[in-house]
Amino acid sequence: MKIAILGATSHIAKNLIYYFLKDSRYKLFLFSRRNESVHAFLVPLEKATIPTVQSYDGFSLEEYDAIINCVGIADPRKQKADPYESFLVTERFDNLTIDYIKAHKGCRYINFSSGAVFGTEFQEPVGDNSTATFRPNALGTADCYRIAKLNAETKHRCLSDLPIVDIRVYSFFSRYIDLDAGFMLSEAARCILDGRPFRTNASEIVRDYIAPNDLFSFVSRILAGGPANAVVDMRSTRPVRKSELLESLAKNFGLVIEMMYCDIQTVSGMKSEYYSTSGQAESLFGFEPTCNALKCVGTEMEALLACAGRTMESGMRP
């Protein structure tokens, strides 16, 4: 099966590439605006097949069985710096893919979306009947990313005759995360490596981190099944509370926690219960996750720190 991955340097894409390359049934075509970074990432990986790395100029010249769109500005720092870019980037690569699958019957489209489409405030988890919240007279920079993603999802449902599956990811952490990204766990990993305290407040939040192998298994199931036009929320077997997560990181990896007694502002809004209880992945595709959020973070953090430790020993910055 020939698979094109757009946004090959993104966090999610790296994990999919890692697993796809282990299976000789898949031939990968990797697209990025930074091909040198893709090549550098590929060097240490085990490969059952050799992927093709090229610029987007050559995208329409190949024949693919599926296209996986991992393009998006998920980093909160980048969302804040240039919120309008979320619209431009999302629209450009979504249209590129839609034009392709319209011209190549049988090619499937898997698009990575976000739980952020439901809003910026999550006082409880979302489910199959949840509604999105908007304040049209008070839209701000925090709304740009989520509206861009929602626009893409809406467009895909209008194209109901095309095989497009949107996968909403709520929280994702792996050994391939950018340590300088503005996420809680990227900062925690950086604090462990630097030997400095992780500063947080006492507010309790709940997150659901999806195991990379579960995400790959779900994508593989979509590719192996019949064509579908649907949107699905990804979830683990059990989400995790911040207090439980930090306690585990302190116990297992020596994270020093410094409690602050003030509010911590986030670009994307205060999300106290940011996860989904939807059963669509199981009912539509027969998929059930195998790993809970806490176990996922522990496994990936161990691998990340081991890799970063080897990098620092070689004199390079992780």
What is the CATH classification number for the domain harbouring 123? 3.40.50.720
At 72 the pLDDT is: 80
Q: Is residue 311 part of a domain?
A: no
By residue range, what is the domain housing residue 65?
2-177+209-238+274-293
- Give the list of residues 6+ apart from residue 292 with CB closer than 8 angstroms, or none: 236, 237, 238, 239, 240
Q: How far apart are CA 224 and CA 140, in angstroms?
A: 40
Place of tokens 């005759």: 161
Query: How far apart (Å, rounded) are the C-alpha atoms in residues 83 and 81?
Result: 6
CA distance 250 to 298: 11
User: 144-158 and 84-103 are packed helices; what angle lies between their axes, rounded to 10 degrees?
Assistant: 20
C-alpha pair distances (Å), 186 with each of 73, 301, 317: 16, 10, 15
Cross-strand partners of 111: 69, 166
For 143, the 3-state DSSP assignment is helix
* Structural domain contains residue 30: yes
In a domain, 140, yes or no: yes
| Pairing relationship of beta strands 240-241 and 206-207 according to DSSP bridges | antiparallel
The answer to the question of residue 141 being in a domain is yes
Phi then psi for residue 121, to 5 deg, are: -120, 125
What is the predicted pLDDT for the residue at 313? 46
Which residues does the chain have with pLDDT short of 70?
Answer: 74-77, 79-81, 262-270, 309-318
| Amino acid 212: pLDDT | 97
In this prediction, residue 84 carries a pLDDT of: 79
Does residue 316 fall inside a structural domain?
no
* DSSP class of 34: -
Residue 269 has a pLDDT of 56
Residues in CB range of 299: below 8 A, 6 or more apart? 211, 291
Assess if residue 247 is contained within a domain.
Answer: no
Distance CA 116, CA 7 (A): 20
* pLDDT at site 271: 82
**Closest listed residue to residue 109, CA positions, set 18, 26, 3, 22:** 3
Token pair for 38:
């893709």
> Is residue 182, in this structure, part of any structural domain at all?
no
Residue 315 lies in a domain: no
Q: Give, as one character, the DSSP assignment of residue 289.
A: -
Please state the domain count of the chain: 1
